[in-house]
Amino acid sequence: MTDPRFRFSHQTGRFHLGALAALLVLAGGLVLAWWLLNQPPRIERRPPPAPTPPLVDVIHTQRIEQAPTLEAFGRVEPEQQANIASRVAGELSRFGQNVVPGDVVEEGATLATIDQADLRLALEDAEAELANARAQLALEQGEQQRARSEYQSFGRDLPPERQALVLREPQLRQAQAGVTQARVARDQAALNLDRADLSAPWRAMVQERLVGAGSLLSQGTEVISLVGVEQFWLRASLPGEWLGWLAVGDRATLTSRGWPAGEQRQGELISILPNLEENGLQAQLLIAVDDPLALESDGPALRLGDIVRATLHPKPREALIALPSSALKPGDVVWTVDDDDQLRQTTVTLAYRGEEQALVRAGIDADARVVVTGLAQPSEGQRVRVREAAQ
């Protein structure tokens, strides 16, 4: 039999070893925990992701024959304007029918009539003077025949000077001149009677009555102010460097803020004036507009003095590349995208540059991809993403 004291001692030793092992494990765990808590965090370093190329809008260029659309502003003025004056003296009797400011009168229409009583009396007097002169000529012709018979019966030849006196040739010429003078006076009196009616020289609109009915007129007194309605002119101004694009006959589209939305009129460039506009020293053009008051056509009416915008359409003369002006950088530089989607910088030669459009003569090829938006700080060779912009 085993001694009980020996079993107790053996169990006690095993208990002491287990407790020691537990304490060692606990101490090791505490040390490990303390070490882990005092270690700084370790972040795994990874290479940064590649940056996303910027997105740019591009257009494909085309080289075609074209010309810029030019903008000019001008004031409407009459092509024909006149103050109709009396050519005879007398009392203004009445104005013609519908001769009211703002009304249109046809060519040849009677504008006003001067009292004709005195003019008729003057015509009768002139006709009487003509009849008297003709009678005097007839008497002188009779005297000449008598003088010629007497000279022939005399039987002698006289020198030409004395012969002309004997035959009363000076008296005959005087009588003939008297008839001519009387005829001219009669014709002038008849003409004055016709001029008692003032007529419109062309189709026109009455601007103003300058005198009233009953006024006593002298020769040259202005009676009515007229403006022609067949055509108005627009005297427009634009920069002188644009004149090289224009030629007589170019079409123009006219618009005005005072017209309804979308309304416009058509005109034609008829002259490039030699003088510059006084204030801005810009070139001046004359643009003709037919039927300006829209009397025989639809559309807004032009009014004298209106400020009108003219959009000129020159005829294409050269194959050029059109770009929006926003694509141009200082120094006439544009950015293009090559086949590898990388930026390339190039300097171009401009044929025209306006507020919205530029025309390129040289520097880029047809079918190039030109950047129009999306670049803040571009650099040569920079890779980009491409998006097609509205052409």
- Residue 150: other Cβ atoms inside 10 A: 10
Q: At what angle do helices 117-154 and 169-194 cross, to 10 degrees?
A: 170
What pLDDT score was predicted for residue 261?
Answer: 87
What pLDDT score was predicted for residue 80?
Answer: 92
Sequence-distant (≥ 6) Cβ neighbours of residue 157 within 8 angstroms: 163
What pLDDT score was predicted for residue 24?
Answer: 75
Sequence-distant (≥ 6) Cβ neighbours of residue 259 within 8 angstroms: 300
Question: What phi and psi, each to the nearest 5 degrees, are found at residue 216?
Answer: -90, 120
Provide the token pair at 324. Answer: 């929006």
Give rounded-to-5 percent helix, strand, coil for the chain. 30, 35, 35
Return the exposure string of 338-372: e unless at least 16 CB atoms fall within 10 Å of the residue's CB, then b. Answer: eeeeebbeeebeebbbeeeebbbeebbeeebbbbb
- Return per-residue pLDDT of the chain as tens, 391 residues: 455 554 545 555 555 666 777 777 777 777 777 766 676 666 566 777 777 888 888 888 899 999 998 999 999 999 999 999 998 988 888 998 889 998 999 999 999 999 888 888 888 888 888 888 888 877 777 767 666 666 566 656 666 666 555 556 677 777 778 888 889 888 888 988 888 889 999 999 999 999 988 888 888 899 999 999 999 999 999 988 888 899 999 999 999 988 888 899 999 999 998 888 777 678 899 999 999 999 888 889 999 999 999 999 999 988 999 999 888 888 889 989 888 888 899 999 999 988 888 999 998 888 889 988 867 788 888 888 888 876 5
What pLDDT score was predicted for residue 1?
Answer: 47
Question: Which CATH number applies to 56-66+318-388: 2.40.420.20, 2.40.110.10, 3.40.47.10, 2.60.40.730?
Answer: 2.40.420.20
Question: Which CATH number applies to 71-78+230-313: 1.10.1130.10, 1.10.1370.30, 3.40.190.10, 2.40.30.170?
Answer: 2.40.30.170
User: What does each C-alpha distance from 287 to 47, 267, 284, 290 come to in angstroms?
Assistant: 69, 6, 10, 10
What pLDDT score was predicted for residue 281?
Answer: 76
Fold (CATH) for 82-111+202-227: OB fold (Dihydrolipoamide Acetyltransferase, E2P) (2.40.50)
- Residue 112: other Cβ atoms inside 10 A: 22
State the virtual CA torsion across 132, 133, 135, 137 in degrees, nearest 10: 170
CA 231/CA 289 separation, integer angstroms? 6
The answer to whether the predicted template modeling score (pTM) of the entire model surpasses 0.85 is: no
